[in-house]
């Protein structure tokens, strides 16, 4: 009986300990949990999955750190999905303290994408390097044969030409390296490699030339120059190949994603962007001019944006729907906390929202659709065990009270 009495009044500290266990254990031992994906999330996924590569999507960070557990997995999953589909991302937000979180998600997605495509990128770069090597050999070959044909003497003029070509080449390579920024550390390696190779070939050739080639015939000079021009072309091709490899296998800031930062004034901005984004965002979050960002060249207003996703823990999604959706026909997807989600169901039903991710459950459903388990999927079993614990506590408490009540009445 004392036990039953104790059950009606369990010390809250024991309850807290049980709760810690209920949340930690499933997170430490990841339990695969099958569940069905709801329609709102499926619609959101389809909306993004059906976009053509190169389409632009806009992500709006309208939550802050307090909603990190629910909203961050959503933005992480969607940026992953977007990069996978080769979509271009514009990030902005109406809550200044939430933007660092959005930036974090974007950088992380880009880094992961680059890491996972590192092998292919390296392969493409190596291939481009081999092409260049082949052409280098060809250049050397034609110089050698010309020298042999004209039985020329080696003069300082040849030295100048060769030097000129070498420094020219290195200059081009350097400028290309500056163009591709920090995400392409492999590029530096490749460039270094190509440069070393060229130097090696050039110095070998120099030595051979020194061994007795004389200039006697202007035709020889012409051949030299023509071969040099050929080589120039191959160097340019090499750089283009590197560029294409980067385009294909790397996600770089300014080219595949931009962060426009925070501007105050929610409704004014949402409405104003229907005309021209640059009216409000002339510089990005690092104060770089928006027009110098490659990606923004053909993006001016909602007509150029395929889909907009608003991650919110308040009423931001309704603002987007009312001003961007209703007035400019912009397609909107919502990614909101569990508390706010029910308020948005009417918009789903009326078609004003193309999809909705609600709470941790919505985030984990999306993660299962993109087949990449993240924080949300790890958290869902924990959410379930916590729920089950609360249900058990309530039931035990009630039943113990029944027993107590009956025994009390029996005594009287």
The verdict on 393 binding another protein (CB under 8 A) reads: yes
Nearest residue (CB) to another protein, 221 versus 370: 370
Binders of another protein: how many residues, by CB under 8 A? 56
Question: In this structure, are residues 184 and 192 in contact, taking their beta carbons and an 8 Å threshold?
Answer: no
Supply φ then ψ for residue 117, to 5 degrees.
-105, 10
The verdict on 345 binding another protein (CB under 8 A) reads: yes
The verdict on 398 binding another protein (CB under 8 A) reads: yes
Burial readout 371-409 (b: 16 or more C-beta within 10 A, e: otherwise): eebbbbbbbbbbbbbbeebeeeeeeeeeebeeeeeeeee
Interacting span for another protein (CB under 8 A) from 28-36, 117-125, 127-135, 145-153 = 28-36
Least distance (Å) between residue 285 CB and another protein = 5
Residues 6+ apart with CB under 8 A from 33: 377, 380, 381, 384
Q: Tell me the H-state helices in 50-184.
A: 68-84, 99-116, 118-150, 156-179
Q: Is residue 263 left, alpha or beta, with left meaning phi > 0 and alpha meaning psi from -120 to 50? A: beta
Cα–Cα dist 278/272, whole Å: 9
CA angle 248, 253, 256 (to 5 degrees): 45
The verdict on 411 binding another protein (CB under 8 A) reads: no
Supply φ then ψ for residue 305, to 5 degrees.
-110, 125
Least distance (Å) between residue 237 CB and another protein = 37
Nearest residue (CB) to another protein, 148 versus 268: 268
- The radius of gyration computed from the CA coordinates of the chain, to the nearest angstrom, equals 32
The verdict on 387 binding another protein (CB under 8 A) reads: yes
Element (H, E) at 201: helix 185-210
Least distance (Å) between residue 10 CB and another protein = 7
The verdict on 72 binding another protein (CB under 8 A) reads: no
The verdict on 330 binding another protein (CB under 8 A) reads: no
Residues 6+ apart with CB under 8 A from 61: 75, 91, 92, 93, 94, 95, 98, 99, 101, 102, 311
Quick one: tokens of 149?
A: 């044909």
Q: Give the residue, chosen from 215, 261, 283, 328, that forms a contact with another protein under the rule CB under 8 A.
A: 261
Least distance (Å) between residue 264 CB and another protein = 10
The string of DSSP codes covering 272-307 is HTTT-GGGT-SB-TTS-BGGGSGGGGG--SGGG-SE
DSSP secondary structure letter of residue 30: P
Nearest residue (CB) to another protein, 166 versus 389: 389
Least distance (Å) between residue 351 CB and another protein = 18
CA angle 174, 180, 186 (to 5 degrees): 85
Interacting span for another protein (CB under 8 A) from 31-39, 181-189, 193-201, 219-227 = 31-39
Nearest residue (CB) to another protein, 165 versus 317: 317
Q: Give the residue, chosen from 1, 2, 3, 12, that forms a contact with another protein under the rule CB under 8 A.
A: 12
The verdict on 65 binding another protein (CB under 8 A) reads: yes
CA angle 282, 57, 286 (to 5 degrees): 35
**Residues between 80 and 139 with contacts to another protein, criterion CB under 8 A:** 96-97, 99-100, 103-104
The verdict on 271 binding another protein (CB under 8 A) reads: no
Nearest residue (CB) to another protein, 193 versus 345: 345
Cα–Cα dist 383/338, whole Å: 12
Q: Give the residue, chosen from 30, 50, 66, 175, that forms a contact with another protein under the rule CB under 8 A.
A: 66
Interacting span for another protein (CB under 8 A) from 51-59, 81-89, 221-229, 281-289 = 281-289
Residues in contact with another protein by the rule CB under 8 A: 10, 12, 15-16, 18-19, 23, 31, 33, 35-36, 38, 65-66, 68-69, 96-97, 99-100, 103-104, 259, 261-262, 285-287, 339, 342, 345, 361, 364, 380-381, 383-395, 397-399, 401-402, 405-406, 409
């Amino acid at each position: 009986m004392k036990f039953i009495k104790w059950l009606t009044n369990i010390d809250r500290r024991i309850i807290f300990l049980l709760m810690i266990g209920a949340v930690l254990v499933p997170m430490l031992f990841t339990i695969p949990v099958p569940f069905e994906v709801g329609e709102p999330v499926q619609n959101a996924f389809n909306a993004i999955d059906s976009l053509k590569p190169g389409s632009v999507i806009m992500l709006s960070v309208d939550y802050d750190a307090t909603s990190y557990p629910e909203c961050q997995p959503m933005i992480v999953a969607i940026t992953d999905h977007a990069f996978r589909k080769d979509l271009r991302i514009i990030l902005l937000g109406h809550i200044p303290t939430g933007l660092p979180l959005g930036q974090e998600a974007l950088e992380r997605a880009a880094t992961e994408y680059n890491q996972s495509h590192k092998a292919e990128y390296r392969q493409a770069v190596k291939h481009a390097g081999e092409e260049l090597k082949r052409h280098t050999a060809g250049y050397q070959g034609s110089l050698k044969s010309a020298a042999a044909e004209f039985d020329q003497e080696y003069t300082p003029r040849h030295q100048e030409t060769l030097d000129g070509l070498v420094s020219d080449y290195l200059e081009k390579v350097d400028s290309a390296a500056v163009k591709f920024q920090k995400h392409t550390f492999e590029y530096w390696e490749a460039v270094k490699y190509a440069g070393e190779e060229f130097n090696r070939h050039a110095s070998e050739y120099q030595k051979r030339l020194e061994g007795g080639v004389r200039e006697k015939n202007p035709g020889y000079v012409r051949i030299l120059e023509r071969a040099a021009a050929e080589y120039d072309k191959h160097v340019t091709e090499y750089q283009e190949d590197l560029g294409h490899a980067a385009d294909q296998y790397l996600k770089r800031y300014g080219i595949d994603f931009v962060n426009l930062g925070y501007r105050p004034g929610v409704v004014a901005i949402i409405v104003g962007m229907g005309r021209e984004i640059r009216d409000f965002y002339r510089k990005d979050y690092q104060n770089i001019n928006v027009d110098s960002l490659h990606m923004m060249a053909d993006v001016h207003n909602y007509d150029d944006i395929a889909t907009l996703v608003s991650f919110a823990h308040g009423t931001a999604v309704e603002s987007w729907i009312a001003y961007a959706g209703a007035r400019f026909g912009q397609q909107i997807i919502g990614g909101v906390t569990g508390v706010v989600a029910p308020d948005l169901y009417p918009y789903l039903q009326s078609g004003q929202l193309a999809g909705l991710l609600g709470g941790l459950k919505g985030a984990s459903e999306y993660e299962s659709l993109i087949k990449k388990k993240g924080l949300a999927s790890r958290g869902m079993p924990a959410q379930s065990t916590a729920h089950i614990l609360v249900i058990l506590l309530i039931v035990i408490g009630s039943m113990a009270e029944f027993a107590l009540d009956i025994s009390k009445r029996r005594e009287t």
